[in-house]
Amino acid sequence: MTYSYYPGCTLKTKAKDLDHYGRLCAEALGITLEEIEEWQCCGAVYPLAQDEIATRLSSVRTLMAARDKGQALVTLCSACHHVLTRVNNDMAGNDNIRTKANNYLQPAVPYAGETRVLHYLQMLKECVGFDELAKKVVNPLKGRKIGAYYGCMILRPAKEMAFDDPENPTIIEEFIKALGAEAVVYPMRNECCGGYVTVKDADLAKKRVAKIMHSAKDKGAEELITACPLCLYNLQANAGADAVPVTYITELLAEALGLK
């Protein structure tokens, strides 16, 4: 199976491990990820204001590139996934945004949200299946107690993201179990890490992360995994005494598949 792949700005720089192991594991699982050519940054935050058109255009270009190849579009970064999914929904269902974006871009074939946007985890679940994935594990992570940190962007708002139950998600826990480890469920796994506010107000992020780490540790998690580079940064840089190690989902996958 071949997918279009959008890495995004951070996966080419600070989050190279998220990208590198994601590609390596996909290849080992028989999935081809074709990077979109000349992709541009998605903007990292979805433009909520209805009259912000120009800030949606880079995502539209990416979505069109996948449409022109007839492929579904896979992302790893939670923020990219959030932005691309919601701009795609706008192009499918919002006449004003669709008309203006097409007027700006003047594509040979107007775009109306035809591309299917998938997160890497959804791709694994659909294309491989977690039962099949478990059979391909060569280095089962037995005895490891791992907490999923979902954060905000891949879950909410659920009516748009359609990723998982926003209050009781299970996909990362299924993933952890498939790799042979114990999935630790803790209350703060879908609460915000502080996000971009850390740039101006690291203390706010520290308060958020302290609560998340305390919650995870209290339930017995000895490590956390995430799909979001900004979550990883906040969970590492803004953690206090309760800190547990945090890695990317793809690093854990590579470890279990014997690729790391």
Partner 1 sequence: MHFDQKETANLITRMSGTDPKKCMKCGKCSASCPSFDEMEYHPHQFVSMVVKGDVERLLASKSITKCLTCFACVQRCPRGVEPANLIEAVRVTALRQQGTCYLSPDDVPAIVDDQIPQQALVSAFRKYRK
Residues that bind partner 1 (CB under 8 A): 8-10, 13-15, 41, 43-45, 47-52, 55, 77, 79, 152, 155-158, 166-167, 191-192, 194-201, 204, 208, 229-230, 232-233, 236-237
**The length of the chain, given as a count of residues:** 260
Q: Where are the beta strands (DSSP E) in the chain?
A: 2-6, 32-35, 73-75, 117-119, 145-148, 182-184, 223-226, 246-248
CB of 181 to partner 1, least distance (A): 26
Q: What token pair was written down for 185?
A: 């469920």
What is the Rg, in whole angstroms, of the alpha carbon atoms belonging to the chain? 18
Nearer to partner 1, 87 or 141 (CB): 87
Q: Is 106 left (phi over 0), alpha (psi -120 to 50) or beta?
A: left
CB of 145 to partner 1, least distance (A): 25
CB of 68 to partner 1, least distance (A): 26
Sequential DSSP letters for 149-203: ---STTTSSHHHH-SS-SSS--HHHHHHHHTTSEEEP-GGGGS---GGGGGT-HH
CB of 55 to partner 1, least distance (A): 7
Contact status, residue 92 vs residue 110, Cβ threshold 8 Å = no
Q: What token pair was written down for 109?
A: 């074939």
CB of 48 to partner 1, least distance (A): 4
Nearer to partner 1, 166 or 180 (CB): 166
Give the number of other Cβ atoms within 10 Å of residue 128's Cβ. Answer: 20
What lies within 8 Å, CB to CB, of 10 at 6+ separation is: 77, 229, 230
Contact status, residue 100 vs residue 90, Cβ threshold 8 Å = no
Contact status, residue 209 vs residue 194, Cβ threshold 8 Å = yes
Nearer to partner 1, 192 or 244 (CB): 192
CB of 114 to partner 1, least distance (A): 23
Q: What token pair was written down for 28?
A: 């080992």
CB of 75 to partner 1, least distance (A): 12
Nearer to partner 1, 6 or 31 (CB): 6
Nearer to partner 1, 38 or 51 (CB): 51
Point out which residues pair with 6 in neighbouring strands: 75
CB of 200 to partner 1, least distance (A): 6
